[in-house]
């Protein structure tokens, strides 16, 4: 093996110092801007509560249709709860629900995690036995918007 062939092989074995410094700079930029978003639990809590709130509202509408009754959704700054037509009797009095995995009875309410806020425009919301509501109602969950359409009761 001659000397020129050996030098070509040696040059192909590693990274240059410029390549290493470039990778370190890129990794530093990513660590500065992207990593805090991945490790901030509040972002996950907000999205999780948003999904739970949509599911709870959809469940209220489906329950009103299935049981041919009015279901009232009452929201406060800390929870969303489902109630019977009088808006004071918890819905689980009408239909006792059992968790399919562990058999424990549960109430139909979703509590906001720490650092998550929910706001709405009109106090309580009623789903009729047809699944409709008297007026459109927007909810805001820490920047995300949930809308309940009036005529159809569609939640999005």
156 located within any domain: no
- pLDDT given at position 105: 41
Looking up tokens 């009103």 gives 64
CA neighbor of 70 nearest in space, from 127, 152, 154: 127
Over residues 108-133, mean pLDDT = 79
- Quick one: 80 and 16 in the same domain? no
The number of folded domains in the chain is: 2
Q: Identify the three-state secondary structure at position 110.
A: strand
Write out the residue range of the structural domain in which residue 21 sits.
Answer: 3-39
The predicted model scores a pTM of 0.66
- Quick one: 29 and 72 in the same domain? no
7 located within any domain: yes
- Quick one: 132 and 63 in the same domain? yes
- Quick one: 26 and 64 in the same domain? no
- Quick one: 48 and 99 in the same domain? yes
- Quick one: 56 and 115 in the same domain? yes
Per-residue pLDDT tens digits for 58-108:
988 988 888 888 888 877 777 777 776 666 665 554 444 444 444 444 446
- Quick one: 59 and 31 in the same domain? no
- Quick one: 140 and 114 in the same domain? yes
Q: Report the CATH number that the domain containing residue 99 is assigned in CATH.
A: 3.55.40.10
Q: Is the pLDDT of residue 112 over 70?
A: yes
Beta-strand ranges (E) seen in the chain are 71-75, 79-83, 97-98, 105-106, 109-111, 118-120, 125-127, 137-141, 144-148
- pLDDT given at position 36: 73
154 located within any domain: no
Contact (Cβ atoms closer than 8 angstroms) between residue 106 and residue 82? no
153 located within any domain: no
């Amino acid at each position: 093996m001659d000397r020129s062939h050996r030098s070509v092989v040696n040059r192909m074995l590693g990274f240059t110092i410029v390549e290493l410094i470039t990778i370190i700079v890129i990794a530093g930029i990513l660590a500065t801007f992207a990593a805090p978003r991945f490790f901030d639990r509040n972002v996950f809590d907000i999205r999780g509560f948003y999904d739970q709130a949509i599911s709870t509202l959809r469940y209220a509408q489906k329950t009103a249709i299935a049981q041919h009754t009015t279901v009232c959704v009452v929201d406060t700054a800390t929870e969303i709860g489902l109630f019977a037509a009088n808006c004071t009797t918890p819905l689980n009095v009408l239909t006792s629900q059992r968790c399919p995995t562990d058999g424990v009875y549960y109430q139909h309410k979703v509590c906001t995690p720490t650092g998550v806020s929910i706001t709405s425009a009109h106090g309580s919301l009623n789903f009729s036995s047809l699944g409709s509501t008297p007026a459109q109602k927007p909810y805001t969950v820490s920047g995300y918007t949930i809308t309940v359409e009036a005529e159809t009761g569609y939640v999005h």
